Structure 1
Amino acid sequence: MDLFNVQVKESELHPNFVNIVDDPQLKEVLKKWSMGFEDRDNKFVKEFQTTFNSSFWELYLHTCFKNLGFKIDYSHHAPDFVLKTRKSKKELVVEAVTTKNAKGGTPEHDRMETLEELSKVNEEDKMEEIYEDIVSLATERIASSIRNKSEKYKKSYSALEHVKRKPFVLAVGGFEQPLFYVQGVGAIQKVLYGITKAEYMENGLPSIEYSDLVIKESNGAPIPIGIFNDDSHSHISAVIFSSVASIGKARALSSVKNKNMFFKTCTYNDYGIQAVHKVTDHTKYRESLFDGLSIYLNPYADHPLDPNEFDNPDIAVNHHLHSTKVKHGFLFSRQVINFSNNETVSSKQITNN
């Protein structure tokens, strides 16, 4: 499968594909990710070149499952992945889904105007407001994506013999807006557990607020959240999520380091009440394949997922609400900033997020 042998007219190419097709380091990483991946309907390469994000997310999941030691059975047309685990040799099925911008909303690749506006903001309160807006939109789009795939399972997948009596997992990749990579886990925790606010107090104890719905900003419609707080979605065993499995991930994993490139990160702090913010140059920056990947288990699942099959220190495992397994340094968000020689630093140089 040759991802970079262009199959469509130049005008049909996705902006993200255009940005990487002439970059040998990014191409090298993606070619490694694609090893062993099977194009079952002979349209994957075309979709990778024209719509990009959903195909990119599938490639990322494919290489994650391989690195976890799972055997992938591509003989079935759907769902996207039928896996046999490394330890128990049991099977599970995974459906990949990516969030998209709403109709009329700004697509994630069209971020220059947003970045220009963000570069002018210095007030902490304004930054917090921007973050809340990002999480709010992400919550709407994640809830919509999960709802659609939930209906697909009930109407179609659940009747398939290779799906029956097995854990069904949704793998959600966030790409719904220009600053999707800033949302961290705020939106996914809203959708699954109904957490609307979470912070650590000075005494080190968490202060958490909950709700069972949020209001859609465009039309005032209620959106149910906290779908793992009861048995309404017991057919979904777990959700895999990441908002940093992006081109920035491929850049971080590339073998050649660029001294003019810097990684701005926000990570979990196990030793204090504030997250850790850093800017690290590419030559010193280290990020693993699994950094930023979370698994959220449904305590009401008909067919529970064994979290031990995903045992990796870089993967955050959320059993429910207060019961989580998150390592110090877990990656919440990441920006890649390219300071080209002899150029004025500007937001236009924030790329590959």
Structure 2
Amino acid sequence: MKIQSIKASRFNALAAYARNPTVKLYSEEVDWYQTDDLLIVACMILDFTDGDYAGNIMVRDEAERYRNVTLSAFISDFEHAKTALFKKMEECYGNIDNIRLQYEGEINPPTPVDFFTPLKTTRNRLDNLFEELINNPMHLSAKNIIEPMMRWYEDADGNFIEQFQTTGFRQRIWELYLFAMLIENDVVLEPSGAIPDFICDSFYGKFCIEATTINPTVTKGVVESIPTSSSLAELENIQLNYYPIKFGSALFSKLRKQYWLKEECVGKPLIFAVTDCLSPESGKISKNSLAYYLYGYMHESQHDDNGQLQILPRRIDEHRWGEKVIPSGFFNLDNSEHISAVIFSNDASFGKFNRMGLMSGFAPAGTQMRRLGTMYDPDPNATEQLPFYLNVNDENYQELWTEGLDVYHNPNALFPLSPSIFENAAHHYLLPDGNIRTTFPEFMPYGSITRICLPE
């Protein structure tokens, strides 16, 4: 057994779900470790009260989920505390077969789950993106980080693996992204059934999340084609009508289920989380469309005689595409006051998981990644996005799961959502005059692609 120092991001990917965020009220994590076989991970904490260090040790159980098992002694000197922690880890390792047992005596104890080997019942109907994940070496970083993160999932429906490999792959990846993003924001996930997807507790109160995706319509086995544009006018029409109807179908279906009446949701902010799964690139186009539909406004811009940008709101009454017509303004619908916010990301993708995998030590040695895209320009008079180009291999490269998340607050919410819950997201608020006030983090990508070069 060898003990290795690791990055915080790797520790988070492996075991953050086993950590109680309330410890951050009186301590700070300062270093992280793993055994070379990953049976044990640990973090060194600094206690604020007396300035002592101690190690928190977590061990994989029979289902390969990490569990807190013990603390090493509190010691004022870091190096001495580190020595004590390593000794404690070695003691645990010497008794690992007994320490691992969490379900001894249970009739059907959980066992490790193989998420990636196709089941007999799924081999002939695998989702094309699932096949891409397990077969394309370009996505090894994503696959390697997804596997330990998925251990958190409680199979409330009893058919998780089948759905993950077939019809539910996009939904499950979206839920996995949300899980990682919530843990990153110090959210404790309470055990739940299948509905709603996440029952959450945070430093800023309790809330619930129900996740959904927008997907291509399949009619008699034929998948609809996503409209393309050959002119700016056609693109604007698609953004104003086609995509809002897609978002409307998914969100209105969730609204009709009245989650706010469920015991777990009563009296708490309720969030709908939605992403675009129509194609790998469509989320960059549909991003503006979601705001059109939610608030029922689009915004035109012009500069005045002094060069100052003026934003002119224009009310949208309806969205029309072919024979489909829906009213605009989701937050004005009956019962929508029960929805505190809608959150969206167009980056719950292989690119995101690959980058986070590389950054957290899950990529094959020698893997190179470059990220290019556009970001919001902080200049208040800017109307265009700024390009960016980043080297993911750079030791100074940093990325959060929350990066790229948009939070659209409901102006009519019965239980408003605290913006402090998702501190590093972009927060949008509709004002009485139809304008939208947005608070941006320091870096807010609009969309990006990740170029990957594997070692020879």
Q: Which has the larger radius of gyration?
A: 2
Map of 1:95 onto structure 2? 210
Aligned-pair RMSD on alpha carbons?
Answer: 3.1
Map of 2:446 onto structure 1? 332
**SS in structure 2 opposite 1:334?**
strand
Question: Could you say if the C-alpha distance between residues 134 and 323 of structure 1 is closer, same or farther in structure 2, counting changes exceeding 3 Å?
Answer: closer
Specify which structure has the bigger relative contact order, considering alpha-carbon pairs within 8 angstroms and separated by 6 or more residues.
Answer: 1
- The answer as to whether partners of 2:255 and 2:335 remain within 8 angstroms in 1 is no
Q: From 44, 52, 72, give the equivalent of 2:160.
A: 44
TM-score (norm 1): 0.80
Q: Distance in 2 between matches of 1:141 and 1:176?
A: 9
Map of 2:254 onto structure 1? 149
Q: Which has the higher strand share?
A: 2
Give 1:73 deviation, angstroms: 1.3
**SS in structure 2 opposite 1:292?**
coil
Question: Could you say if the C-alpha distance between residues 194 and 270 of structure 1 is closer, same or farther in structure 2, counting changes exceeding 3 Å?
Answer: same
TM-score (norm 2): 0.63
Q: Distance in 2 between matches of 1:275 and 1:106?
A: 37
- Is 1:57 aligned to residue 174 of structure 2? yes
Give 1:184 deviation, angstroms: 5.8
Map of 2:345 onto structure 1? 242
**SS in structure 1 opposite 2:176?**
helix
Deviations 1:101-140 (A, max 9, x none): 13459869x99xx9xx99xxxxxx8367446535643211
Q: Count how many residue pairs are aligned between Structure 1 and Structure 2.
A: 322
Deviations 1:270-298 (A, max 9, x none): 02332012344553575431121011111
- Is 1:68 aligned to residue 176 of structure 2? no
- The answer as to whether partners of 2:293 and 2:330 remain within 8 angstroms in 1 is yes
Deviations 1:164-222 (A, max 9, x none): 11111100111124532322630111011123234463734242332233332221x43
Question: Could you say if the C-alpha distance between residues 191 and 49 of structure 1 is closer, same or farther in structure 2, counting changes exceeding 3 Å?
Answer: same
- The answer as to whether partners of 1:269 and 1:329 remain within 8 angstroms in 2 is no
Question: Could you say if the C-alpha distance between residues 163 and 263 of structure 1 is closer, same or farther in structure 2, counting changes exceeding 3 Å?
Answer: same
Question: Could you say if the C-alpha distance between residues 135 and 100 of structure 1 is closer, same or farther in structure 2, counting changes exceeding 3 Å?
Answer: farther
- The answer as to whether partners of 1:200 and 1:207 remain within 8 angstroms in 2 is yes
Give 1:160 deviation, angstroms: 1.9
**Tell me, which stretches of 5 or more residues in structure 2 are unaligned?**
1-112
Map of 1:21 onto structure 2? 134
Map of 2:269 onto structure 1? 167
Q: From 269, 284, 292, give the equivalent of 2:404.
A: 292
Deviations 1:60-102 (A, max 9, x none): 11111111111111233311111111x14x3211100001113
- The answer as to whether partners of 2:243 and 2:286 remain within 8 angstroms in 1 is no
Give 1:246 deviation, angstroms: 1.3
AA aligned to 1:245 is A
Q: Distance in 1 between matches of 2:343 and 2:264?
A: 20
Q: Which moved more, 1:221-230 or 1:51-60?
A: 221-230
Give 1:307 deviation, angstroms: 1.6
Map of 2:75 onto structure 1? none
**Tell me, which stretches of 5 or more residues in structure 1 are unaligned?**
119-124, 342-353
Q: Distance in 1 between matches of 2:418 and 2:391?
A: 38
- Is 1:34 aligned to residue 150 of structure 2? yes
Q: Distance in 1 between matches of 2:400 and 2:158?
A: 31
Give 1:230 deviation, angstroms: 7.5
- The answer as to whether partners of 1:134 and 1:182 remain within 8 angstroms in 2 is no
Give 1:319 deviation, angstroms: 2.5
